[in-house]
Amino acid sequence: MSKRVLVLSAKVGSGHLVAANALEQELAQREGITYANIDALEMTNDMFRTLANDLYMYLVKHTPHFVGWNYDRDDVPFSNEEIVRRAWTMMNAQQLVSYLKEFDPDITICTHFLPAQVVAQLLAQGDLHTTLSVVTTDYDFQGLWLPKMFTRFFVALEETRVQMIALGFDPERITVSGIPIDPTFAQPVNRAAVLAGYEIDPDRPLLLISAGAIGGGPTRDLVAQALHLEAALQIVVICGRNRKLRREVEALTFEQRERFRVLGFTRDMVNLVRCATLFVGKPGGLTTAECMAAVRPSSLAHRRPARKNAIAIICWNMALPFGAMMPRPLPLRSTSCSTSPNACNACNRQPASWADRMPHGW
């Protein structure tokens, strides 16, 4: 009899969905499994979905310091278990609750704390009989992710495992797995063929500046600095879904348009990252893991004050070539990284396959 496996994520940004899709790729290769990959946020009502996604993205863009303050406020173990918060989530996620009971999974894997909270509550009530695995999608651990009931917790770093053990969790239930990403990032790429599609010279260094899927961060400042870099450097700027940002960057780079390529949201990141000499982007866990898998040095352009120092310290401890780049170090860092191939080798710390760290029990 096949196992029923349910992967639950939430479309808050893109990283949680990317991690869930990476897990789905692994599940597709396994026999004896029936699986589904669901965006839990789509199974909540319109008001809740707007608050959880649209409002959050607006705040990230326009009030990053408030987001940082809120991040610190929620960085308390089991803060997601507060009575009011739990009741609010369950009240607005009734469609998800019905789906969980109907699908009746043997194994549930969550890449976001929202569905993990719902599943944990149903387990506590005796309304669901499943194992619950929580997969973190960042190197910086946040207490908000901790439900009181779970079977296994997958974390990116040994330091996080030690932190959870100090909170009283059984070490056998915590697995240091890295972050699940598309395995294509670790595979070779035909650089000349990819760059030909963008009319970019494969024999010249390439700087990739990414504002992420939503188009946030200090992208304008970074592009303004990039205008003064050596002429041999080619630059691709990813503006995400932020059309206003794309128009501004296009205007800013107009006089140097022969060496700039300004893109909106793209599904070709796996190729662009692998072709880049240096990646500059937000300090997200998925982004960092993808650059490590692609063996590409990266620099961190911080967006949320609560996280910039944590991610920078993590990269420093892992001996990764990076620069915390808000805003002046760009010219220095981009030159040193792009001309130091030996430094590039130091960042290949991501496991070849996330599944290599997956215990059979999940």
Question: Please, what are the averages of pLDDT over each run of 10 residues along the chain (362 residues)?
Answer: 92 87 93 94 90 73 72 70 84 95 96 94 94 90 81 92 89 93 92 95 93 83 88 90 94 94 94 92 80 76 50 44 41 39 39 44 50
Integer CA distances (angstroms), 31 to 132, 213, 358, in order? 20, 34, 15
Please report the pLDDT score of residue 335 as a whole number. 40
At 29, give phi and psi (nearest 5°).
Answer: -90, -5
Residue 2: other Cβ atoms inside 10 A: 10
> Is the separation of the CB atoms in 117 and 181 below 8 Å?
no
Under 8 Å between Cβ of 297 and 278 = yes
Give strand pairing partners of 109.
7, 133
The DSSP call for residue 107 is E
Other beta carbons within 10 Å of 358? 20
DSSP labels, 216-274: -SSHHHHHHHHTTS-TT-EEEEE-TT-HHHHHHHHHHTGGGTTTEEEESS-S-HHHHHH
Whether the Cβ atoms of residue 18 and residue 121 lie closer than 8 Å to each other: no
* pLDDT of amino acid 2: 85
Q: How far apart are CA 46 and CA 51, in angstroms?
A: 9
Q: Quick check: bond before 327 cis, omega within 30?
A: yes
Residues 211-220 as b/e (b if ≥16 CB within 10 A, e otherwise) read bbbbbbbbbe
For residue 23, give both structure tokens: 């897990």
Report the pLDDT value the prediction gives residue 59, as an integer from 0 to 100.
Answer: 72
Edge-to-edge order in the sheet of strand 131-135: 33-39, 3-9, 107-110, 131-135, 152-155, 174-176
* C-alpha span between 249 and 232 (Å, rounded): 20
**What number of helices (H) and strands (E) belong to the chain?**
16, 11
Torsion on CA atoms 192, 203, 224, 265, rounded to nearest 10: 10
Distance, CA of 180 to CA of 205 (rounded, Å): 28
List 210's β-bridge partners, or say none: 238
User: Which pTM does this prediction carry?
Assistant: 0.77
The pLDDT value recorded for residue 151 is 94
Instruction: Read off the amino acid at residue 93.
Output: A
Domain ranges of the chain: 3-180, 183-345
What pLDDT shows up at residue 10?
93
Per-residue pLDDT, 15: 85
> Same CATH fold, 183-345 and 3-180?
yes
CATH superfamily of 3-180: Glycogen Phosphorylase B; (3.40.50.2000)
pLDDT for position 342: 40
Instruction: Map residue 134 onto helix, strand or coil.
Output: strand
Q: Does domain 183-345 have CATH number 3.30.70.380?
A: no
